[in-house]
């Protein structure tokens, strides 16, 4: 049972464009929503995260928008750069051990 | 600063052979520890997590097992590997209960079962 659904599976954007990745969750016990960036052959690295009591968080070119009532959240990458080409995972945290449930990932390609 | 070490980085094992992947975290104490698996081109699946020495929780029934013999050491094992065990295995940690949400990943171990 996939508890965090992510779309699209792949995304191609021109340099300078906006990349948008969407996620939806079902489990209302989730209480922390991070996004991870993964380059080929490497472990995922935390990019940005949000708590459900906040509707938006911005860090540089990266913004998370969060809609608690719809149980949806999204990542916006402004002014996308070729160096942003990577796989992006949304995730949700629950439980006393803070274990992560991941979405299926989005492979982003930014064309020069 | 905290660092996580995971080894071996790559290995090729025959079907039916045993497996041992090891992970250690430095610069922190009482971390939560996790093992994730990522199949080729797929998402990350939580296999095991541990909130303390000897305390292991399993998320997915399979022929893998995990152990935590020391506070900052986490081991993933199998007695007999299957072809379906191939994948990218990632150890991860966070600062432990009540100490934050961020989970940090190691560099991973590529396992190919042939």
- State in Å, rounded, how far the first CA of chain B is from the last one: 38
Residue A81 sits at the vertex; the CA angle it makes with B3 and A11, to the nearest 5 degrees, is 95
Residue of B nearest to A31 (CA): B101
**Closest among A92, A69, A72 to A20, alpha carbons compared:** A72
Confidence of residue A15 (pLDDT cuts 50, 70, 90): very high
Model pLDDT for residues B79-110, shown as the tens digit of each residue = 999 999 999 999 999 987 655 678 999 999 99
Residues of B with CB under 8 A from a CB of A: 32, 34, 42-46, 49-51, 57, 59, 90, 92, 94, 97, 100-108, 110
Place of tokens 């792949």: A10
Which one of A29, A44, A104 would you mutate to disrupt binding with B, by most B Cβ within 10 Å of its Cβ?
A44
Task: For residue A47, report the phi and psi dihedrals to the nearest 5 degrees.
Answer: -105, -55
Q: Specify the DSSP class assigned to residue A72.
A: E
| pLDDT value, residue B98 | 58
CA distances for B57 relative to A22, A49, B9, B46, B90, angstroms: 30, 25, 24, 10, 16
Nearest Cα residue in chain B from A33 = B101
């Amino acid at each position: 049972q996939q508890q965090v659904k992510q779309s699209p599976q792949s995304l191609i954007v021109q340099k300078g464009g906006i990349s948008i990745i969407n996620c939806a969750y079902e489990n209302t016990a989730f209480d922390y929503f991070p996004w991870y960036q993964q380059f080929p052959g490497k472990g995922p690295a935390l990019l940005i995260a949000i708590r459900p009591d906040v509707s938006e968080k911005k860090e540089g070119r990266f913004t998370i928008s969060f809609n608690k009532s719809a149980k949806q959240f999204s990542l916006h990458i402004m002014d996308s750069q070729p160096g942003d080409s990577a796989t992006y995972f949304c995730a949700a945290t629950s439980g006393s051990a803070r274990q992560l449930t991941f979405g299926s990932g989005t492979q982003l390609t930014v064309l020069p | 600063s905290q660092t996580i070490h995971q080894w071996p980085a790559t290995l090729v094992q025959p079907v039916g052979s045993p497996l041992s992947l090891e992970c250690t975290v430095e610069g922190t104490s009482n971390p939560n520890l996790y093992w994730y698996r990522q199949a080729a081109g797929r998402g990350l699946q939580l296999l095991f997590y541990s909130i303390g020495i000897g305390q292991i929780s399993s998320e997915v029934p399979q022929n893998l097992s995990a152990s935590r013999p020391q506070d900052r050491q986490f081991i993933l094992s199998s007695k007999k590997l299957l072809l379906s065990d191939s994948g990218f295995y990632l150890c991860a940690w966070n600062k432990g209960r009540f100490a934050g949400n961020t989970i940090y990943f190691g560099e991973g171990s590529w396992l190919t079962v042939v």
